[in-house]
Amino acid sequence: MSLPNFLDMYKKLIANPSVSAIDRSLDLSNKAVIDELANWCRELDFEVEITELTHSPGKFNLLARREPLDKNLTEGGLMLAGHTDTVPFDDTRWNSDPFELTEKDNKLFGLGSIDMKGFFAFVLNAIRQLEHSQQSTPLMILATADEETTMAGAQQVAQHASLKPKYCVIGEPTDMVPVFTHKGHMSSAIRITGRSGHSSDPERGLNAIEIMQQVITQVLQLKEELKNKYSVEHFAVPHPTLNLGHIHGGDNANRICGCCELHIDIRPLPGLSIVELEQMLLTALKPINEQYPGSVDVIDLHDPIPAFSGRTDSGLVKLAEKLSKQKAIAVNYCTEAPFLQQLGCETIVMGPGSIAQAHQPDEHLAMDKIKPSQEIILNLIQTCCFNKEEAS
């Protein structure tokens, strides 16, 4: 087979559903996307390694490597990384088929068009323009699974013993603005177990909703403590955030509520460890658990994701700023960067499309951004891997 053109690659990637969801009824394998990428990478002389996730059967990572033809040039290199899964979708809110790349109003619509299957079309289209014989350092393409849920794919890659790129660029949608640092993500359920009973005799029960009211008071105090104690000026929201996102409990007005559960979302800054944050939450709830022994449980809704911290003076950041003509920024959302950074590589987040479109109905890429985004990606690969002046 021959490598399809840019738009055909885009279409094929969008056409293969690869939804990642905690709800198993919505969760899908990403194998079809991985197989498509594997075939295209082989067309460009890459050696391809496909690995099933240890703890997520049916989910796969792809690592494609292409070494320089000069076997003495095998150190360092560039890894271009992205995830193959998408969020779930509500087709009643889409104006087109989420799995059919649709061109309208100078935009390309489709689930994953910018978050972030489309990035692979940009990367492969750039590499096809470069002569393998001129390659001077290793070039790698990483495609991961389950970024939108557990980030299990990236966490497994971080343990890869022989993967040691010098640079890593994660192609999340940043409008090609380099991102050098971002916050982490911690989602927790606070579950109150009371004792149900008839509402006519409150003393015979233990009302979980009433205990939850005390929990919320403590959690809101923690929110203020985080806001007042920690700050990093690079971020548009300079402090850690804490959001009360979901609550449910009880079953009827005339029954004492026996169970109530609150889901919270915390976004820690670089420098605030997950362990420290978890301890702060437990400390805040300790007086309530002492008053009502065994009534308060804190449960991770997913493995916490640490913040990502890079340096504005790194060679890769400086190169990305030069090519994009944009200063590197900090963002409030999180990516696979803290895990891939564990490989020992300089790491940034930079890719085509706007984050404002991510996780939205009618997700799309503005077509007038294709040419400038493609040029930056091509120049990045050339500079790092094809005898141009390398980032230092």
Q: What is the pTM of this model?
A: 0.93
Cα gap 296→215, rounded to integer Å? 9
User: In the predicted model, what is the mean pLDDT of residues 88-105?
Assistant: 97
Confidence (pLDDT) at 74: 77
Q: Which tokens in the block code for residue 105? A: 């109003």
Does residue 139 share a domain with residue 40? Answer: yes
pLDDT of residue 75: 83
Tokens of 286: 């300790």
Query: Is there a catalytic annotation at residue 103?
Result: no
Token representation of residue 169: 């660029």
251 in the same domain as 127: no
* Structure tokens given for 262: 């609150």
Which pLDDT value is given to residue 71? 81
| Residue 392 placed within a domain | no
pLDDT of amino acid 73: 75
270 plus 375 within the same structural domain: no
**Percent of the chain at pLDDT exceeding 90:** 94
Q: Is residue 102 pLDDT above 90, yes or no? A: yes
- C-alpha 345/C-alpha 384 separation (Å) is 13
The stretch 38-46 carries a mean pLDDT of 98
- Mean pLDDT over residues 18-45, rounded? 97
**C-alpha 8: how far from chain center:** 25
Residue 373 in this model has a pLDDT that exceeds 80: yes
Are residues 38 and 142 both part of a single domain? yes
Residue 233: its pLDDT value, please?
93
Asked whether residue 227 is assigned to any structural domain, the reply reads: yes
Q: Where are the beta strands (DSSP E) in 130-267?
A: 139-144, 167-170, 179-182, 186-193, 197-198, 241-249, 255-256, 259-267
Q: Say if residue 172 is in the same domain as residue 265.
A: no
Closest CA to 193 of 288, 94, 276, 312: 288
Tell me: the pLDDT tens digits for 124-175?
Answer: 999 999 999 999 999 999 999 999 999 999 999 999 988 999 999 999 999 9
Residue 321 lies in a domain: yes
Segment 287-294 shows an average pLDDT of: 96
| Residue 26 confidence (pLDDT) | 96
CATH number at residue 295: 3.30.70.360
The per-residue pLDDT for 1 is 65
> Of the residues 300, 334, 357, which one is the last residue of a structural domain?
300
Q: Is the pLDDT of residue 389 over 70?
A: no
Q: Which pLDDT does position 387 carry in this prediction?
A: 72
pLDDT over threshold 60, residue 369 = yes
User: Of 254, 272, 300, which residue constitutes the final position of a domain?
Assistant: 300
247-254 average pLDDT score = 96
Confidence band (pLDDT; 50, 70, 90) for 81? very high
pLDDT at residue number 267: 97
- What average pLDDT does the segment 115-127 reach? 98
Q: What is the mean pLDDT of residues 60-75?
A: 91
Closest Cα to residue 179, out of 86, 268, 309, 273?
Answer: 309
Provide the residue range defining the domain that includes 119: 6-182+306-385
Q: According to the model, what pLDDT value does residue 254 have? A: 96
**pLDDT-derived band of residue 22, with 50, 70 and 90 as boundaries?**
confident
Regarding whether 153 and 40 lie in a shared domain, the answer is: yes
In this structure, what CATH number is given to the domain that contains residue 317? 3.40.630.10
For residue 331, give Cα distances in angstroms to 99, 177, 266, 380.
29, 11, 15, 22
Is the pLDDT reported for residue 119 higher than 70? yes
pLDDT above 80: residue 355: yes
pLDDT digit string, tens, across residues 335-349: 999 999 999 999 999
Picking from 259, 284, 300, the residue at the C-terminal end of a domain is 300
Nearest to 50 by CA among 69, 74, 33, 28: 33
Instruction: Say if residue 199 is exposed, middle or buried (CB neighbours under 10 Å; 0-12, 13-18, 19+).
Output: middle
Catalytic option among 36, 67, 85, 336: 85
Q: Which residue in 173, 185, 186 sits closest to 349, CA to CA?
A: 173
Does residue 85 carry a catalytic annotation? Answer: yes
Asked if residue 1 is part of any domain, the answer here is: no
By C-alpha distance, which of 174, 176, 282, 168 is closest to 222? 282
Structural domains in the chain (count): 2
Q: Are strands 139-144 and 296-300 parallel, antiparallel or unpaired?
A: unpaired
Q: Tell whether 165 and 198 lie within a shared domain.
A: no
Same domain, 365 and 283: no
Choose, from 146, 147, 175, 321, the residue flagged as catalytic. Answer: 147
User: Do 268 and 377 have their domain in common?
Assistant: no
> Sign (positive/negative) of CA torsion 219, 223, 229, 235?
positive
Q: What is the mean pLDDT of the chain?
A: 96
